[in-house]
Chain A
């Protein structure tokens, strides 16, 4: 990721880069010489009446997997040959493993998976591989190599958030991190990238607190209030997801700090973009998660209709989603259809 996306770059350009990345990834994904990659939604000739079964096992109900699922459906439904369903992992590894078992014995053509844990689902992925079923992971990779992994660019995105945040604060001051509970890779990537980014771009900024606020807006308000009591000169807060950042915005509003207090989120959900446009939230990392789902579905379609089995992969392909650091200057270029 040498070509850093700066916040001036137009949104469309980022999306074009994304499409190119996908074409490349899809080509690389089929480690079979002469395999047709085709376009999303165009299946190869197939036996009359063939139906494919695909399912997405999500972590738990949330805006992000819901938007992925919508993107997946947009690609799969028009083809009229794929039965797709969204399955809920209920935030439990044993439920996800059991659903994987069920899909494997059902003979699914492809499985989309947002693993709760990278190691815990590895045996299930290995089992799917033995059955020839390609697995495509979303956002959280697994230690067992599989067909493809499509993820938001957590680490580099967080670095760019740190850069933009430091710029907004004039390169000096104190910031706090409102964090997720430990034990999740995404949390580590989004935290480490931010810390590293501050070190690189703005060594003058101090990270004075890093507190857990459970991904939650209400909790973030309480946590930030406590942090502010100890550090009244705090200049900004970084929420590891948008909900927590919006909680920080609530506190800034309440204390009359709006405009002086810099708040950045991460994800780019609709509520955050609206808050940015209203001049409250300073910025966030935006990823088009519909597009992320579409890419995963396009890859799965190619694999299933092309009859490519899990055994055909010499190595796992990895696709990092393009992103944009959305601020007041460019949030307007994110179209309504791209908001989730």
Chain B
């Protein structure tokens, strides 16, 4: 119920933002803006959904930007240095991201490190590793060689959905990028995992009350490692989308995306106290931040204003989350007292 309330508020806020820019920003309410939003921010929605998992188990994953960079460079090297075909690269890239994420989980669970510290350390380590394996440094010509593998570049393709549905005769429809469909698939898979699978129940239980979950026989260690692995897996998908979009990977690819992903997840109603949240909120949160960036750019408002507004929305979201936590505690205390 609480989740639904938070989601409803977010949907209203998103609708309000879109309505505001449609009226005030020139050319905002156009098919091309919708297309830009989908192609420019689907990867961010995927990152935010992945980030939701560590937050659900009362952790945080600061290393996703570095994982994006690392996976991007793995794709770059396999394609341009080793000439591996794309259908072989994609599973290896997903595996690399998942392993990097799982390693975060192992550090947190087995070395008993704070998630913040552990993933801050791996942020530096993975980024360093990205520079170390960079094919751009080994072979000078590669930094100006685009990746041409159809399996990779095919990820950046667009579909005339409006044309198929026959809507294009009535109104100009945006072409939908494949990355948006990938985002929908990730959303569906993870949401089903959370709601219908045992793993989802374990995640909520572990995040809600770690000790109680352990006593109830839930493998909290494995569940925590799995949550970070999901985050790494999502970072790998995002990396593939980005490499396809840019036809290359840079050593700095993905720098700083973790902050936007965390912001989107929290704005999307994923509680930092753990155990509360769904996939819908983070995905919509990412598109909300994207819509604000595009809208303000069209209005000609300087970008630092966008950062200020993002900060304010984040504050509001965290404040609301805090309020819910306090209310829940009070109710529990009342129940205990009676």
Q: Which residues of A contact B (CB under 8 A)?
A: 83, 85, 87-88, 90-94, 97-99, 101-102, 104-107, 116-123, 143, 181-183, 185, 188
Which of the residues A105, A117, A118, A119 comes within 8 Å of B33, measured between beta carbons? A105
CA distance A88 to B305 in the complex (A): 12
Chosen A-B contacts, 20 in total, with CB atoms closer than 8 Å, are A85-B300, A90-B303, A92-B252, A94-B246, A94-B257, A98-B36, A98-B293, A99-B297, A102-B33, A105-B30, A105-B36, A117-B248, A117-B250, A120-B246, A121-B246, A123-B245, A143-B146, A183-B136, A183-B137, A188-B140
Contact at B145–A119, with CB atoms within 8 Å? Answer: yes
Complex Cα gap A119–B243 (Å) = 11
**A residues near B36, Cβ cutoff 8 Å:** 98, 101-102, 105
On whether the beta carbons of B40 and A183 are closer than 8 Å, the reply is no
B251 located at the interface, meaning its Cβ lies under 8 Å from any Cβ of chain A in the complex:
yes
Task: Tell me whether B205 is interfacial, beta carbon within 8 Å.
Answer: no
A88-B303, A106-B298, A120-B247 known; A97 and B144 CB under 8 Å? no
Of the candidates B32, B131, B242, B248, the one whose C-beta lies within 8 Å of that of A94 is: B242
Contact for A185 among B134, B143, B248, B303, CB less than 8 A: B143
Name the prevailing secondary structure of the A interface residues: mixed
State in angstroms the CA–CA spacing of A264 and B146 once bound together. 35
**Contact at B250–A116, with CB atoms within 8 Å?**
yes
Bound Cα distance A183, B140 (Å) = 10
B156 within 8 A of A: yes
B253 lies within 8 A of chain A by Cβ: yes
Contact with A along B1-40 (1 / 0, CB 8 A): 0000000000000000000000000110010110110011
Give min CB distance, A324 to chain B, whole Å: 29
- B256 contacts A by Cβ under 8 Å: yes
B245 touches A183 (CB 8 A): no
- Check: B191 CB closer than 8 A to any chain A CB: no
Is B251 within 8 A of A87, CB to CB? no
Q: In this complex, what residue of B is CB-closest to A144? A: B146
When C-beta atoms are compared, the residue in chain A nearest to B246 turns out to be: A120
Query: In the complex, what distance in Å separates the CA atom of A107 from the CA atom of B26?
Result: 11
Cα(A254)–Cα(B100), bound, Å: 45
Determine the distance from Cα of A188 to Cα of B156 in the docked complex, in whole angstroms: 30
CA–CA, A188 and B300, complex, Å: 35
Chain B interface residue number, banded: 35 or more
Q: Tell which of A98, A99, A121, A182 touches B131, judged by Cβ atoms closer than 8 Å.
A: A182
CB distance from B131 to the nearest CB of A (A): 7
Residues A101 and B248 in contact, CB atoms below 8 Å apart:
no
Contact status B33-A91, CB under 8 Å: no
Segment 32-60 of B: residues with Cβ below 8 Å from A: 32-33, 35-36, 39-41, 43
Query: Are A87 and B250 touching (Cβ within 8 A)?
Result: no
Measured between alpha carbons, how far is A185 from B257 in the docked complex, in Å? 24
> Which residues of A are found within 8 Å of B248, using beta-carbon distances?
117, 119-120
Residue ID in chain A nearest B146 by CB atoms = A119
A123 to B156 CA separation, bound complex (whole angstroms): 10
B317 within 8 A of partner (CB):
no
A22 to chain B, nearest CB (A): 26
Could you tell me if B134 and A119 are in contact, using CB atoms closer than 8 angstroms? no
B294 an interface residue at 8 Å Cβ cutoff? yes
User: Which residue of chain A has the shortest Cβ distance to B25 in the bound complex?
Assistant: A106
Do B40 and A101 touch (CB < 8 A)? yes
Hey, which chain B residues are within 8 Å of A123, CB to CB?
A: 156, 245-247
Whole-angstrom distance between the alpha carbons of A122 and B144 in the complex? 10
Q: Which residue of A lies closest to B31 (CB)?
A: A105
B255 within 8 A of A: yes
When C-beta atoms are compared, the residue in chain A nearest to B36 turns out to be A101
The reply to whether B40 and A98 contact each other, CB–CB distance below 8 Å, is: yes
Chain A min CB distance to B45 (Å): 13
Q: Nearest-CB distance from B92 to chain A (Å)?
A: 22
Q: Among the interface residues B246, B255, B256, which one has the most CB atoms of the partner chain A within 10 A?
A: B246
Q: Give the docked Cα–Cα distance between A91 and B251 (Å).
A: 12
Complex contact A93–B246 (CB within 8 A): yes
Q: Evaluate contact between A118 and B30: CB separation under 8 angstroms.
A: no
A91 touching B252 in the complex, CB below 8 Å, given contacts A105-B27, A122-B146, A183-B136? yes
Contact partner of B32 (CB less than 8 A), chosen from A105, A116, A119, is A105
In the assembled complex, the CB of A77 is this many whole angstroms from the nearest CB of chain B, namely 15
The 0/1 profile, CB within 8 Å of A marked 1, for residues 268-304 of chain B is: 0000000000000000000000100110011010010
Interface residues of B in 105-146 (CB under 8 A from A): 131, 134, 136-137, 140, 143-146
Cα-based distance from A101 to B35 in the complex (angstroms): 9
Indicate if the CB atoms of B303 and A119 lie closer than 8 Å. Answer: no
Q: Which residue of A lies closest to B304 (CB)?
A: A88
Beta-carbon contact of A93 and B40 below 8 Å: no
Considering the chains assembled together, what is the distance between the CA atoms of A183 and B58 in angstroms? 37
The answer, among A94, A118, A120, A182, for a CB contact under 8 Å with B40, is A94
Distance (whole angstroms) from the CB of A179 to the closest CB of chain B: 12
